[in-house]
Amino acid sequence: MKKYNFDKTIDRRVTYSFRWNVKDSELPLNIADMDFEVLPEIKEAIKKRSELDCYGYIDTPKEYFEAYVRWWKERHNLSLDRNWFLFSSSVVGSIDTVLKHLLKENDQVVMFTPIYNVFYNCIKNNGLVLKECELIYRDNEYKIDWDKFEKTILDKKTKAFIFCNPHNPVGRGFSLEEINRIINLCKKNNVYLISDEIHCDIDYNKSKYVSIFHSEYSTYKNIILLISPTKIFNIAGLQTSSLVIKDELLRQTVQNALYKEDIGEPNYFAVDPVVAAFTHGKQYVVELNEYLCENLEFLHKFFNKFLPNLKIIPIHYTYLLWIDISYYKLKSVEFASRLKNKTGLIVAPGKNYGENGDNFIRLNIATQRKNIEDACNRLFDFIKELEGEK
Ligand SMILES: Cc1ncc(COP(=O)(O)O)c(C=O)c1O
């Protein structure tokens, strides 16, 4: 008997949801947050906190970091020391701050592309130079181009590598062997290794995510790990996350930078819900991953039967489906825009994530099954029209 009901519809429009600020007839499956009811203990924690009558500035208590430490030990078999942690109100804010304060104008930053679009802004807005290391897409799979990676990381001008593990948008994790190699290359050229692992808990109960800190080489002093419960517990609107840095000097430098950017202190509701999530959320995460897995299976079956020319890239992590649309010879922005105009289904065009994403669309599957069915039917209508034109 399941404890949580992910079929329950929540009216997100009344919450001022960014994603659901669309016409009534439209179905927005683009931006990466979920449509599910949050864990009851999270709601309870917020209610309790709201009853404390005084909402002034707060500090980050040790209970916050201890909750992270317990979760990573129990769920990911990883021992983290609570003294390595810093609070930040967002993962993107942390990346932006780290780049701004540790690098100099025109320094190079490497990323595996396609990648989460906002990272591009962090690089550009800080006057830095992007060095792309395109992932190799072959036989429905993405692989690292090691020759290119080695060359770009070892380039004297390269100062940071933004690593997204599990990877948005291609939905894969990285093996220990790959991670070891990445760390050792970064170490050779003293490159900051910024590892965004925000999607690590969405794993369909199938794969074991390997964190940068699972590696025996994670003693490398320039590693900055970014984690948060916001994706898996659907609390992104609370603006809460952590950085984990082993090296004391680097940690102190980053702490000062976070304070300077005014993102190093939690808002009044950014602590207790996190403690509640990590303390009571184990079963929620198991059932949520099962539900997402069923959504994924539904989509695979539907696509195999009715949309065989749209190729789903097999994902092991994230609730973001990466779909190859190249058969239709339409670029992703046009595909997404025509799909929206014809059917009201809103997806993210792959070009948002890099030029090499232009033959793809990204579909958020963290929604009620009936929305997944609806999305499939809308896609089917659109594809029928496209095939009529062929
Ligand atoms: C890889 C990745 N990092 C960071 C974020 C955003 O995190 P935050 O809201 O904490 O800035 C997202 C959101 O989709 C993401 O996919």
What pLDDT is recorded for position 317? 97
What pLDDT is recorded for position 378? 98
Same domain, 27 and 121: no
236, 261, 279 - which closes a domain: 279
CA-nearest residue, atom 13 of ligand 1: 32
Closest ligand 1 atom, CA of 320?
A: 16
What pLDDT is recorded for position 206? 85
Mean pLDDT of 164-193: 98
SS (H, E, C) the chain: CCCCCCCCCCCCHHHCCCCCCCCCCCEECCCCCCCCCCCHHHHHHHHHHHCCCCCCCCCCCHHHHHHHHHHHHHHHCCCCCHHHEEEECCHHHHHHHHHHHHCCCCCEEEEEECCCCHHHHHHHHCCCEEEEEECEEECCEEECCHHHHHHHHHCCCEEEEEEECCCCCCCCCCCHHHHHHHHHHHHHCCCEEEEECCCCCCCCCCCCCCCHHHCCCCCCCCEEEEECCCCCCCCHHHCCEEEECCCHHHHHHHHHHHHHCCCCCCCCCCCHHHHHHHHHCHHHHHHHHHHHHHHHHHHHHHHHHHCCCCEECCCCCCCEEEEECHHHCCCHHHHHHHHHHHHCEECEEHHHHCHHHCCEEEEECCCCHHHHHHHHHHHHHHHHHHHHHC
Using the mean position of ligand 1's atoms as its centre, give its distance from the Cα of residue 91 in Å.
6
Closest ligand 1 atom, CA of 33?
A: 14
Q: What is the pLDDT of residues 2-51, one digit of tens each?
A: 999 999 999 999 999 999 999 999 999 999 999 999 999 999 999 999 99
CA-nearest residue, atom 9 of ligand 1: 90
Same domain, 226 and 368: no
Q: How far from 108 is each of 98, 148, 179, 192, 291, CA to CA, in Å?
A: 14, 15, 21, 11, 41
Task: Please give the residue range of the domain that contains residue 304.
Answer: 13-40+281-385
What pLDDT is recorded for position 389? 80
Same domain, 116 and 102: yes
Using the mean position of ligand 1's atoms as its centre, give its distance from the Cα of residue 80 in Å.
22
Closest ligand 1 atom, CA of 90?
A: 10
What pLDDT is recorded for position 188? 98
Same domain, 242 and 301: no
Mean pLDDT of 350-355: 98
What pLDDT is recorded for position 205? 80
Closest ligand 1 atom, CA of 92?
A: 11
Using the mean position of ligand 1's atoms as its centre, give its distance from the Cα of residue 198 in Å.
7
279, 294, 320 - which closes a domain: 279
Mean pLDDT of all residues in the chain?
97
Same domain, 350 and 242: no
- Is residue 390's pLDDT more than 80? no
Q: Which of 96, 111, 194, 198 to mutate to test the pocket of ligand 1 (most atoms within 8 A of CB)?
A: 198
Q: Which of 18, 87, 92, 164 to mutate to test the pocket of ligand 1 (most atoms within 8 A of CB)?
A: 92
Q: What is the CATH number of the domain that holds 370?
A: 3.90.1150.10
Q: What is the pLDDT of residues 253-307, one digit of tens each?
A: 999 999 999 999 999 999 999 999 999 999 999 999 999 999 999 999 999 999 9
Same domain, 275 and 287: no
Using the mean position of ligand 1's atoms as its centre, give its distance from the Cα of residue 89 in Å.
11
Q: What is the CATH number of the domain that holds 163?
A: 3.40.640.10
Same domain, 272 and 285: no
Q: What is the pLDDT of residues 110-151, one digit of tens each?
A: 999 999 999 999 999 999 999 999 999 999 999 999 999 999
Which of the four pLDDT bands, split at 50, 70 and 90, describes residue 207?
A: confident
Same domain, 29 and 122: no
What pLDDT is recorded for position 213? 98
249, 279, 309 - which closes a domain: 279
**Cβ < 6 A, ligand 1 pocket:** 32, 90-92, 116, 164, 168, 196, 198, 228, 230, 236, 241
Same domain, 98 and 232: yes
What pLDDT is recorded for position 59? 95
- Tally the domains of the chain: 2
The rounded percent of the chain whose pLDDT value lies above 90 is: 97
Long-range contacts of residues 44-52, Cβ cutoff 8 Å, at least 24 apart? 44/276, 45/272, 45/273, 45/275, 45/276, 46/269, 46/272, 46/273, 48/272, 49/268, 49/269, 49/272
pTM check: above 0.85: yes
User: Bridge partners of 346?
Assistant: 28
